Structure 1
Amino acid sequence: MIDFFSVWSLIRASGFLAYFFMTLSLAFGLLNSLSIMKKKKAVLLIYHQTSSWFGLLTIVFHMTLIWKDTYVPYSLTELFIPFFAKNAPFLSAFGTIAFYLFLLVIGTSDFFITKLGRERWKKIHMAVIPAWVMMVVHGLAIGTDSSKSWALSIYAAGIILIIVLVLFRFVDSLLLRQSSQANKNNKSKI
């Protein structure tokens, strides 16, 4: 029987939990950007921010456990400098880079948004997409449970959710642009 509270089990569980929270945060952020959600923006923003902080803290917990693991130990250098890990250097780097990108996005959103200005902040905020993709690749490729059907189902559900919401966001922005253009054309005729 596997010891549920072993470091190894907690590393795996924290990886999936981080994926869950960051996927949830991205989903709430995408929902918040849809024009039909105007009345729910405040609530969605709270969910978006809360799940992102839980995700970031879970990633830090995941990294701490990996550092303390005795089976496949990582040094602090291997954890914090991309491509320095002895175990799967490229795939480990994806996890490290994703962590830094999430940290950048969350940090600038909660502490520096007014200093950066909305346009610069928005450009930085888009780094969450490659961060999330790198996290998915990291988990799928280096995770010990990734080949199991239950794990693949968890990843697939999150990936499908995000793809659908990105498509909704794309269509929503196209419709808003067309509506705005039609309003400009109507005003110019008057």
Structure 2
Amino acid sequence: MCDAKGSFLDVYIGQPGSVHDALVLRRSPMYSQALYPPAGYFLLGDGGYPCLQRPVAIMTPYRQPVASQVEGRYNRHHARARNVIERTFGILKTRWRSIFLRALEIRPVFAPKVVGACCVLHNICVAAHDILEEEQEQDEGEMAEVPDGRDGPGNAEGDERGLSGREVRGHLAAQLSAPQDLPACLGEHDYI
């Protein structure tokens, strides 16, 4: 998880690479202890994560094909905002390509510590304004699909107001389509 500047806020390196994203999330301390985000804020996740309100608020894109222009508009804004983490991973891999783009010659038990150390060093570089651009090999805007037709495993029942993650996402999508309610910082509008 990273912020808008590309600094890592939380890194969970406790699962092998073949584990589904949603399972990694459920096993992470951030999820099990509901550590983040604060009330009223949401994390953005790709289609490999469930759309949840609790215990961790995560907004995901609508499945393709979208049912309306409102859902399509939401997905475009969501993809643009979520590209921050994709760029951050690209910069991390570029900065330490000698570590991430070849086999590590260490015992496997130390690999998570190396990845964690690279994330900490990355944050130090970001704080020191040591800017590094990612290489162009990244596929921007790509969103994974959940194959079974749901928004992901473990959908939340709802919060105190009775809103599930899907209902909150619906409200956010509707707000993006209501030009009079949009903050100026959201930029262009593509409504009809």
Fold match by TM threshold 0.5? no
Q: Name the one with the larger helix percent.
A: 1
Larger radius of gyration: 1
**More RCO (CA 8 Å, sep 6+):** 2
TM-score by length of 2: 0.28
